[in-house]
Amino acid sequence: MKRMKLLLTLLLALLLLAACNSSNEADGPADNDATGGEEPATTEVDEELEAAKAKFEPLGEIPVPEDNEMTEEKIALGQMLYFDERLSGNNKLSCASCHAPGAGYGDGLATFIGFEGFEGHRNSPTIINSGYYKENFWDGRAGGLEEQALGPIQAEGEMNQNLDELIEELNAVPGYVDEFNKVFNDKITADNIAKAIATFERTIVVKDTAFDKYLAGDDDAISDEAKEGMKLFVGKASCISCHAGPLLSDHNYHNLGMEGDDGRFAVTGNETDKGKFRTSGLRGIADTAPYMHDGSLATLEDVVNYYNTGGGAHPNKSELMKPLNLTQEEVSYLVAFLESMSGDIPMVEKPELPQ
């Protein structure tokens, strides 16, 4: 009889243990304090972390187009043009007005304010790592930085400058004539302006973050919270379905459920592209608030909470957008992980401009 009781108790204990373990797996190992007592968790946790870590890659060198090699002199010229208000129609706005080093190379606003107070409907994205994208702009309408650069100069709502007039204006500045001659062995042309600016932008890179140090083998480079976040990023929250590859962007377009902007549709004309935007890369992300094409999410916590609800109500919403059932603690782990992907951003100043 006694023996029977002992056996039963043992069986019960075993069953309980099994139940604990499986509930553990479902909840994630982060909040297992309450289940108490069991020690095999550590090895299991490490395996999950190692498997998660193996899904990430370092960013590598920025791609440079064959016909626009990087030279010190070209970078310096690009930096002058980037900060020069004379590139705008009223000589009041430069690229740096909306992509300011002190604001993470954005403007800190939800949506941009342009020429003579023009109110834009999109967020000024950061230019950090923008040279790694295959296509630029939120909707990918430019094939690269050279193509992109001439857009804002001419856009009525942005710098509102006629290109022929700009070239005339810059030709009246002897310092610029010399600079272009030195860098390109050529005149001032729209093409050369774009090439110089793009070259400067390729120096604004964030790739040596705590997250990257961790990938490279420094186990203490990121916090335990960030490590939990990494597991969630590839697991329960499946952020990696879109934020994948070296840039943490699949270079593809997705609809997260946000309404009010047709996004990629304007480029392709395909109904299925309505409301799709390019997946953002994530390095440097802690410095580039507010977030999304419309700047509608103020903090990284807001972003993760948005995903946690499964996104908005756009009829074309991606099937990958589903409620995630993350606890607030798990949300904070994901935020910690996103923060670990940021680090020092290159700080450049307005150089002395040619006269």
What residues are paired with 12 via a beta bridge?
none
Dihedral, CA of residue 16, residue 18, residue 24 and residue 29, to nearest 10: 120
Query: What is the DSSP code (8-state) at residue 257?
Result: S
Is residue 332 within a helix (H) or strand (E), and if so which, with residue range?
Answer: helix 328-340
Give me the least distance between CB of 128 and ligand HEC, in Å please: 9
Give me the least distance between CB of 348 and ligand HEC, in Å please: 13
Q: Which residue has the tokens 């140090």?
A: 213
- What is the DSSP annotation of 252-297? -EE--S--S--BTHHHH--GGGTTBEEPPP-TTGGGS-SBSTT--B
Does 283 contact ligand HEC by CB under 6 A? no
Binding range to ligand HEC, per CB under 6 A, among 14-22, 51-59, 184-192, 299-307: 299-307
∠ CA 222-225-228, rounded to 5°: 100
Q: Which residue has the tokens 């706005």?
A: 93
Is 137 or 180 the residue whose CB approaches ligand HEC more closely?
A: 137
∠ CA 179-180-184, rounded to 5°: 125
Asked if 148 and 303 count as a contact pair (C-beta separation under 8 A), the reply is no
Q: Which of 97, 161, 209, 340 binds ligand HEC (CB under 6 A)?
A: 97
Give me the least distance between CB of 151 and ligand HEC, in Å please: 7
Q: How many residues does the chain have?
A: 355
Query: Per-residue contact track with ligand HEC, 41 to 60, x per CB under 6 A?
Result: --------------------
Give me the least distance between CB of 125 and ligand HEC, in Å please: 4
Query: What is the DSSP code (8-state) at residue 241?
Result: G
Q: Which of 89, 104, 114, 257 binds ligand HEC (CB under 6 A)?
A: 114
293 is in an annotated binding site: no
Q: Interface residues with ligand HEC (CB under 6 A)?
A: 87, 93, 95, 97-99, 112, 114, 120, 122, 124-125, 127, 130, 133, 136-139, 145, 148-149, 152-153, 158-159, 197, 201, 237-239, 241-243, 254, 256, 258, 277, 279-280, 282, 285, 288, 291-293, 300, 303-304, 307, 318, 320-321, 334, 338
Q: Which residues are annotated as a binding site for heme c?
A: 95, 98-99, 239, 242-243
